[in-house]
Amino acid sequence: MTAAVRVGAIDCGTNSIRLLVAEGVPGEPGLTDVVREMRIIRLGEGVDATGRLSEGAISRCRTALTDYVAAMAELGVQAVRMVATSATRDAANKDEFFGMTAEVLGAHFPGAVAEVISGQTEAELTFAGGVSDLSPGDGPFVVTDLGGGSTEIVVGELVRGEVRLLGARSLDIGCVRITERVLHSDPPTADEIAEARGVVSAALDEAGDVPVGRAARWVGVAGTFTTLSALAQDLGEYEPERIHGSVISLDRMREVCDRLVASSVSERRSLGPMHPGRADVIGGGGLVVQALCDVMAERAGLSDLTVSEKDILDGIAMSVLTRVAT
């Protein structure tokens, strides 16, 4: 009998850095969570304007990553993979960031380095994680990962346990990017909201070749979607077990987004399920979600959204286990 292996996955995005320690048997489907953790580090703060990762952002990432590496070592993680996405792709000083991650990871996991993955790999990992708890018969699926700097739209299906992608696109819109570029007032003005809607609409036009119309189910993943689900359900606090797999009507999702966009940061921060570090940018995320609701209704005839707590982080962990198996 093959022994279980404990793996570590780190997803370092524009707004947050997240850790998953999970256990599974190589060659067999399914992972059991050991630890999940998320910290808002705002790695992409100012990148849209300056083209550089700030010293403060890199320092915040170092602190969180050092803690994550210590936790993985203590939990007996045998193999680890770290993926860095939108904010690091084009930063002029990305070598400084990757040097830091190699140093911190290498303290306990020699040879481990952060990877900037291709759009295709990101799509595959996002899709695999997002649909991991869903029935293949409910597909094809369109999975949307709304991050701080980018939004991924991936259409695919599961065939005999394997991911088959039908189309994917990564768009340069996300909650941090939209907020920093357009939504400068607190709360945003009507003109700012109108301008932001125009930016989002233009970006979504670039995804016109993604076969969203073939999807039978829309799955939203990552922190903006999970927070919106909690608010749509009127939860008093963030409850992952009630958020994972929740189905929210598109009309209800639009209502929640409208309220958030019109609210001040302090009003958002007072909401029970809201992470304090997300309150200042979730209005921008809400505008992206509203536009996506329209796309899914018009192009796929869908009337609701399934929200998953599992996403690219789970796809990364699954890929680590596959590497161990081979």
Please indicate, yes or no, whether residues 151 and 173 belong to a single structural domain of this protein: yes
Q: Is residue 126 situated within a structural domain?
A: no
224, pLDDT greater than 80: yes
Residue 59: the pLDDT is: 95
Task: Assign residue 237 the CATH number of its domain.
Answer: 3.30.420.150
Q: Is residue 271 situated within a structural domain?
A: yes
Please indicate, yes or no, whether residues 55 and 145 belong to a single structural domain of this protein: no
Q: Is residue 243 situated within a structural domain?
A: yes
Average pLDDT, the chain: 92
Q: Is residue 214 situated within a structural domain?
A: yes
Residue 193: the pLDDT is: 96
Please indicate, yes or no, whether residues 198 and 242 belong to a single structural domain of this protein: yes
Please indicate, yes or no, whether residues 143 and 100 belong to a single structural domain of this protein: no
Total number of domains in the chain: 2
Residue 255: the pLDDT is: 97
Q: Could you give the strand order of the β-sheet that contains 162-171, starting from the edge strand earlier in sequence?
A: 162-171, 151-159, 141-146, 217-221, 304-308, 246-249
Residue 325: the pLDDT is: 64
Q: Is residue 127 situated within a structural domain?
A: no
85, pLDDT greater than 80: no
Q: What is the pLDDT of residues 191-211, one digit of tens each?
A: 999 999 999 999 999 888 999
Q: Are 303 and 248 in contact (CB under 8 A)?
A: no
Name the pLDDT band for 87 (thresholds 50, 70, 90).
low
Please indicate, yes or no, whether residues 209 and 262 belong to a single structural domain of this protein: yes
The most confident of the ranges 77-91, 150-164, 303-317 is 303-317
Please indicate, yes or no, whether residues 98 and 9 belong to a single structural domain of this protein: yes
Task: Assign residue 102 the CATH number of its domain.
Answer: 3.30.420.40
Q: Which of 273, 278, 276 is nearest to 239 (CA)?
A: 273
Residue 86: the pLDDT is: 60
Q: Is residue 178 situated within a structural domain?
A: yes
Domain assignment of residue 38, given as a range: 5-119+313-325
pTM value is 0.84
For the segment 253-280, the average pLDDT, to the nearest whole number, is 95
Q: Is residue 128 situated within a structural domain?
A: no
Residue 48: the pLDDT is: 75
Q: Is residue 124 situated within a structural domain?
A: no
